[in-house]
Amino acid sequence: MKNNPLLQTFPNDNPPFHLIEEKHYLPALREAVAQAANEVEAIANNTDQPSFSNTIEELSFSGERLSLVSSIFFNLNHAETNEEMQQIARDVSPLITDFYNDILFNEQLFERINQVWSQRQSLKLTQEQEMLLEKTYKSFARNGSNLPRDQKDKIRAISRELSDLSLKFHDNVLAETNNWYLHLTQEEDLSGLPQSAIDAAREAAHNKKLEGWVITLQAPSFMPFMRYADKRELRQKVYMAYNTRAYKDNSHNNTKIITRIANLRLEKARLLGYDTHAHFVLEETMARDPDKVNKFLGELADASYPVAKKDLEETQMFAQKLGFQDTLQPWDWSYYAEKLRQKKYDFDEELTRPYFQLKKVKEGIFQLTHRLWGLSYKEARDVPVYHDDVEVYRVYDENGCFLSLLYLDFFPREGKSAGAWMTSYREQYRYNGREVRPQVSVVCNLSKPTKKTPSLLTFNEFTTFLHEFGHALHGMLSDVNYPDLSGTNVYRDFVELPSQMLENWAVEKEFLDLFARHYQTGEPIPEEMVEKIIKAKNFHAAYATVRQLSFGLNDMAWHSITQPIEMDVETFETKAMEPVQLFPRIKGTMMSTSFSHIFAGGYAAGYYGYKWAEVLDADAYRAFKEKGIFNRETASSFRKYILEKGGSEPPMALFIKFRGKEPSIDALLERDGLRQEDK
């Protein structure tokens, strides 16, 4: 224990990645759990009269070491994992699950919390303290603290199994993504691919010590191939590999895992007094209940599905004019849609790459946040990192005060999960006069540099970076007292507002002129190209909406079951997504078995939140459009009421304080060109 860096005071308060070895995790996590358990027992056994201070606050601040160690371990298990890390996760998961269940089912502790809760009207608490008290009380009451012992034991067993299943699900998806690749040795198989994709494929082959080119299921490889590769049979092969991940007849099959997860979530919800898992989850969201979510998804489907069908018909006719003789299949869509977009708007997203050099994009986003909030960034080469790709910055406010440590991890690798996300190693809070500043990380899978070029992003990758940076701002600018309410610790359908809000600047020429210059010539991105980006932005917006709705409907179906699922999972998924299905179902494909958001992440019964937050951000961004995209007064208001507040006030109240009214779906329909009068 003495020499375990995870149990020592961190040098300069930063995670000592350079000192951590796999052997340190398990003993550190065990010791941190023991320390946290002792802290909680001290609160529960306190003989003083229960108060907000000695019960609610102390509980919020307990387990600091466990929070630090577990955040390091579980973040790296997604960003830089290996078989040993995955085994440690399986070993430690029951320990941590039991620890949190021990807290929830500690009768003395809940009695103290209940006493404070019953006196809440007379305690003269601040708004933030009221939110912490409510969140603490509900976290116990909603999760079984009032149940008889035998039912608590059932919940314990279910929670442990769910934790284990989620880990297995994640490991299987990662293995399926990493294990498959398409090895090409004939140049004609590269027909249609842009040079950037060819160079990346050659690098991938070199990394595998192969001749020729390699296409992988990582997004920077998969997406350009589906969009540009001329050979239809190869597109089909790659599509099928991607859409059968964890659904093949091998040891990584997730079929039984997802049905077991869904059935266990239902069983747990029933034990807790809810009709479905969706009812349980949505009680603590802006939406409140499944009926409202389903109505919301239905309204969007009514607006988008007819337009998406017309888009599909138009693309089919266009493909036929190009000599295509068959019916469009999913592996044809991106290919012909891209050709149609190029024809309609004379716009090829690949031509934007030279203007979105990653280094300049990063500097541009830094400049944007400086313009809006006065933030500045200083690279911190002295801060340890977990991989050579990772960059670290110290972030300061306009007065030069330290705000946050920011880690940036941009490129795909075998130890990293797919996708992009923001996370933190430490939340912002205040304790005993000590200001604890956050340590935030943005993790992506962007186009890697090649021997010929630096990292050049597509416009879509650029907006992905903006999106995750919006989440990072939510964490870095947090200004609350309690870690439980800090940063992104908000309702799931509110958390995407800052991230999707920042995406709006992606098409603003005034912003692009700050950084978008050709990496070779230094020429600014042409006005004509920006106009084409803007015109093309809503191209097939209805199709994109329908795709998101299909995921949301699938999520709601899995978590709205009232009886255990016994039917075939492919049949179940087909039925769930049928209302917005545009293509004929491809037998043998399955998205649920790799749907990490809901089976290995925190979005179960919450995937609708992406579209919900789009309503919020479309309405909120109007405030900037009305007063100027760099307007400091508007930016200051957004920071004050959204970015700084975390979960310290109800989200709708915060939105109204910023916008002056509740959000309207009209702003989103107008932005996406889906209003009835636009059709």
What distance lies between CA 525 and its chain's CA centroid? 30
State the pLDDT at residue 676: 53
Calculate the alpha carbon distances from 604 to 103, 169, 176, 579, 597 in Å. Answer: 23, 14, 22, 20, 7
pLDDT surpassing 60 at residue 678: no
Contact by Cβ (8 Å): 140, 110 = yes
Q: What's the pLDDT band for 320 if we cut at 50, 70, 90?
A: very high
The whole-angstrom separation of Cα 244 and Cα 249 is 10
pLDDT of residue 525: 96
Quick one: pLDDT at residue 75? 98
Residue 581 has pLDDT above 70, yes or no: yes
> What per-residue confidence (pLDDT) applies to 52?
98
Residue of 56, 140, 61 whose CA lies nearest to 102: 140
- What letter does residue 357 receive in the DSSP assignment? B
Compute how many other C-beta atoms are within 10 angstroms of the C-beta atom of residue 538.
14
| % of residues, the chain, pLDDT over 90 | 96
Mean pLDDT, range 277-290, rounded to an integer:
97
Q: For residue range 519-563, list pLDDT tens digits in order.
A: 999 999 999 999 999 888 889 999 999 999 999 999 999 999 999
How far is 536 from 318, CA to CA, in rounded Å?
A: 17
Q: What is the pLDDT of residues 236-283, one digit of tens each?
A: 999 999 999 999 999 999 999 999 999 999 999 999 999 999 999 999
Residue 619 DSSP SS3: helix
Q: 3-state DSSP: the chain helix, strand, coil percent, rounded to 5?
A: 60, 5, 35
Choose, from 176, 338, 349, 468, the residue flagged as catalytic: 468
Whether 677 shows a pLDDT value over 70: the answer reads: no
Q: What is the pLDDT of residue 537?
A: 84
587, pLDDT greater than 90: yes
Share of the chain above pLDDT 70, in %: 99
Q: Which residue has the tokens 């012992």?
A: 149
pLDDT of 449 > 70? The answer is yes
Taking Cα atoms as reference points, which of 314, 577, 551, 338 lies closest to residue 460?
Answer: 338
Question: 192: which 2 tokens?
Answer: 């249609």
**Rounded Cα distance, 105 and 99, in Å:** 10
Furthest C-alpha separation in the chain:
82
Mean pLDDT of the chain: 96
As given in the structure block, the two tokens for residue 648 are 């310290």
Query: Is the confidence at residue 493, as pLDDT, over 60?
Result: yes
* 468 in active site: yes
> pTM for the full model?
0.94
Give the tens place of pLDDT for each residue, 502-522.
999 999 999 999 999 999 999
Across the range 26-46, mean pLDDT stands at: 98
Instruction: Quote the Cα angle for 645-431-53, to 5°.
Output: 90
Mean pLDDT value across residues 349-361: 96
pLDDT value, residue 289: 96
If you count DSSP H runs as helices and E runs as strands, how many of each does the chain have, helices first?
A: 26, 9
pLDDT for residue 675 is more than 80: no
Count Cβ atoms below 10 Å from residue 325 Cβ, excluding itself.
6
159 token code pair: 């929670």
Model pLDDT for residues 104-157, shown as the tens digit of each residue: 999 999 999 999 999 999 999 999 999 999 999 999 999 999 999 999 999 999
Q: Can you list the pairs that 527-533 forms with residues at least 24 positions away whose Cβ atoms lie under 8 Å?
A: 529/347, 529/351, 529/352, 529/355, 532/345, 532/346, 532/347, 533/347, 533/352, 533/459, 533/507
Q: Which domains are delineated in the chain? A: 5-146 (1.20.1050.40), 180-242 (no CATH), 354-539 (1.10.1370.40)
Question: Six-digit token pair at 362?
Answer: 């990063």
Q: Identify the helix (H) or strand (E) that includes residue 212.
A: none
Q: b/e map of 632-662 (b: 16 or more CB within 10 Å)?
A: eebbebbbebbbbbbbbbbbeebbeebbeee
- Contact between 267 and 362 (Cβ < 8 Å): no
**Would the pLDDT of 158 be above 70?**
yes
**What number of residues does the chain have?**
679
Res. 679 pLDDT band, cuts 50 70 90:
very low
